Amino acid sequence: MKENGSDPMETVMVNASAVYPVYIGGGLLDRCGELLPRHTAARRCAVITDDTVCPLYAPRLCRSLEAAGLEAVLYAVPAGEQHKTLSTYGSILNFLAESRITRSDCVVALGGGVAGDMAGFAAATYQRGIDFVQVPTTFLAASDASVGGKTAVDLPAGKNLAGAFWQPKAVLCDTDTFSTLPEDAFRDGTAETLKHGLIADKDFFHFLIETDMRENIDKVVRRNVEIKAAVVAEDEREQGRRKILNFGHTLGHAIEKCSGYRVSHGHAVATGMVLAARAAEALGYGGKGTLAAVLAACERYGLPTACPYSAGELYAAATGDKKRSGGHIDVVVLREVGRAETVRLDMEGLRAFTEAAL
């Protein structure tokens, strides 16, 4: 939906326990001061970013807030998944407290999924929860991480193990910010985008293969957000349907962990989708041709399809190093391109799935 006839900004609404807009378009950083007060009564904003994004975009964001009469205080954490930790999260909470941020103030998360997940978790827990607004600056965060209210940090035992569901008041996605993304970081976003097509929209998937995401970036971000918003509206707390958004993630997270987080999330998810499609086809859960489709899509966007780790290493990382005596895991399989379902596996089943994946 266009805001009005002449405004280039697109708006997608998320209808979860909270209803909020995702604004998409070029130049939105300069409009934060205009747009933010539509969705929060806060007059003071704690802008939480990382030290790569900070010099690139924080001055413009803060200027826009201040021009609208809002006060902005700024905190930059070190960039990178290896800093998505309890310790960094604690430092954000301390910053909020030292800056005398109150319950009627607001956190603004500026950056990729790492900054967004951590700032969101800080907003969810600081003084038992304060408003927050997402300003994603990576293709991945705009298309996936900033929408849907999952916030988290990693623990030594695995990814995103401490977190909260906490919906933002609004998401302001300035697609011009992608122009400074390193090629690999842009590619991370292509992986989650392909995931959305594979699990939920065959026509979108074919559009992605036949065109170039970069050339249609606003349209691609918008369709990603629409797909994710529809799933989140149905199952915000991941009791059922939302699990399909984890296609490629069980083994993708294992790859990230095995690499000591040197392999990025998007790259790991790409390989994870290839592995899941291979295992699903081999074990009869996946539709014929789904592996070929995933492989072709990853190759089209230069994403890695081969896994450097053994089945044993992946299984250990996926389950935690200690042997489990019970429990199960829901893995996502493609019945066909555009249609995903979950299959519940016990630990032996997961072992067989992991072996069939390689």
Could you give the C-alpha distances from 308 to 59, 86, 251, 318, in angstroms and in order? 41, 29, 12, 15
**Residue 38 annotated as catalytic:** no
Site residues (CB under 6 A) for ligand GLY, limited to 134-153: 144, 148, 150
Strands 158-165 and 71-77: unpaired
Instruction: Show contacts of 283-289: CB within 8 Å, 24+ apart.
Output: 283/352, 283/353, 283/356, 285/333, 285/335, 285/343, 286/333, 286/334, 286/335, 287/334, 287/335, 287/336, 287/337, 287/339, 289/336, 289/337
- Which CB atom, from 64 or from 246, has the smaller least distance to ligand GLY? 246
From the list ligand NAD, ligand GLY, none, partner contacted by residue 117 (C-beta under 5 to 8 A by kind): ligand NAD
Cβ 65 to ligand GLY shortest distance, Å: 27
Site residues (CB under 6 A) for ligand NAD, limited to 239-278: 265-266
Of the candidate residues 187, 242, 257, 267, the single one contacting ligand GLY (CB under 6 A): 242
Q: Which of 81, 159, 169, 246 is catalytic?
A: 246
Buried b (16+ CB within 10 A) or exposed e, 300-323: ebebbbebebebebbbbbbbeeee
Residue 327, sorted as left (phi over 0), alpha (psi -120 to 50) or beta, turns out to be left
Structure tokens at 261: 């987080």
- Which CB atom, from 47 or from 294, has the smaller least distance to ligand GLY? 294
Helical H runs in the chain?
A: 32-35, 53-67, 86-98, 113-125, 139-140, 183-200, 202-210, 217-234, 249-258, 265-283, 290-300, 311-319, 347-357
From the list ligand GLY, ligand NAD, none, partner contacted by residue 266 (C-beta under 5 to 8 A by kind): ligand NAD
Contact call for residue 113 and ligand NAD (CB under 6 A): yes
Site string for ligand GLY, 87-126 (x = CB under 6 A): ----------------------------------------
Contact call for residue 82 and ligand NAD (CB under 6 A): no
Cβ 302 to ligand NAD shortest distance, Å: 16
Residues that bind ligand NAD (CB under 6 A): 50, 52-53, 56, 79-81, 84, 111-115, 117, 137-138, 140-141, 144-145, 148, 150, 159-160, 177, 180-181, 185, 188, 265-266
Residues that bind ligand GLY (CB under 6 A): 144, 148, 150, 242, 245-246
What residues are labeled active site? 128, 150, 192, 228, 238, 242, 246, 249, 253, 265
